[in-house]
Amino acid sequence: MKTINGGVCAAKGFKASGIHCGIRKNRTKRDLALIYSETVATAAATYTTNLVKGAPLTVTKNHIADGKAQAIICNSGNANTCNANGIEVAEKMCALLANELNVKANDVVVASTGVIGQPLPLAPIESGVKPLVAALSENGGDEAAEGIMTTDLVKKEIAVEFEIGGKVCRMGGIAKGSGMIHPNMATMLVFITTDTAISAEMLQKALSEDIKNTFNMISVDGDTSTNDMVTVLANGMAGNPEITTEGKDFDEFMKALNTVNVYLCRMIAGDGEGATKLLECSVKGAKDEKNAKIIAKSVICSSLFKAAMFGADANWGRVLCAIGYSGADVDINKIDVSFRSNKGILDVCKNGAGVEFSEEKAKEILLEKEIEILVTAGDGNASAQAWGCDLTYDYVKINGDYRT
């Protein structure tokens, strides 16, 4: 497997575009994105666990109930959530695009991201669909990635190439996510395309399994969004024998999917609102995977620990504190903690107690942009990873006047 260029357009038969249509006031910001497959593709998706769900999620879930889709339309700047006419607007977006592309409205995935509780005007979308379709290009993945951004500071995209059944397959993904990020479908939109031939059932199985160790293991601020969705389209144009059961080919597909998803997870966590550092908590030696995940999530979600990382303060007691209230079945007296970055590794806790270390070396390690928190539980052989970011002054500034 190797990383390639192209994002969501890397796979055969996919084109994309992104334009400014007028939903966002800033004309320099693209606010409408499109991903299109030349042929109808198998489709799978996972959605937020929040009881409050954006109207686009309801519409998309209905549209891909048959396991098929051909296009994805997404706007930024408005979430189309908690609106009396939200379903109507989402369905109209699909109908407008379907008419312009000459596809079925039920084969359109629709997504929205932005402010909650404000009506989404249709006029900009009605006028924007034609130029959006006209802009479709095999090199349009970058524009689509920009079109789904809200408070994101960087575009998030990746593509990989791998082999299944003697055929070269490709998979690409784009994502948005910066704030309102928390495990159990962390707040984000992720769109993945692949030319692999795989049944809708196996595609859904692959996605549902992988998010348990990827998108459900990131947190920026403890808030689970209303519009989270991860969608995968697989058009089969690589020509491999269709994957219909578990086995070697399915395993290869899972490796590719995991590679794409882990990369996007790290991008989302590192681009958290106001963040200056990517935090990765790696747990090993836990009794089982469940407990390993509980420990990793609790550390990443601790506001006190996140604040310490912003200040490059090796306050390891906050790691143990987070583990202690996590609910994990763990013996605190066996816990080891270390911090690692490009500047080296530093042991700060052994068997639940502090060890002497150089504060100067700790500061040097923790001033880096990517920090690993290494936790050894000493209770078994299970491991897990979680991703997050530091908590900064700018997070409050960004969210203090996000709507206005």
Please report where in the chains the tokens 């669909």 appear, as a residue. 129
Compute the distance between CA of residue 91 and CA of residue 85 in angstroms, rounded to an integer: 10
Across 294-331, b (16+ Cβ under 10 Å) vs e yields bbbbbbbbbeebbbbbbebebbbebbbbbbeebebebe
CB count within 10 Å of CB 26 equals 9
Q: What is the number of residues in the chain? A: 404
Question: Mind spelling out the 3-state secondary structure of 1-49?
Answer: CEEECCHHHCCCCEEEEEECCCCCCCCCCCCEEEEEEEEEEEEEEEECC
Cβ atoms of residues 245 and 202 within 8 Å? yes
- What residues contact residue 57 under an 8 Å CB cut-off, 6+ apart? 47, 48, 111, 227, 229
Task: Write down the catalytic residue from 42, 46, 151, 187.
Answer: 187
Per-residue DSSP letter, 240: P
Cβ atoms of residues 286 and 377 within 8 Å? yes
Active site residue 49: no
Cβ atoms of residues 218 and 186 within 8 Å? yes
Edge-to-edge order in the sheet of strand 278-286: 353-354, 344-350, 336-341, 370-376, 278-286, 382-389
Per-residue DSSP letter, 234: E
**In 3D, which of 189, 158, 174, 254 has the Cα closest to residue 46?**
189
Cβ atoms of residues 68 and 43 within 8 Å? yes
Per-residue DSSP letter, 107: G
Known catalytic residues? 187
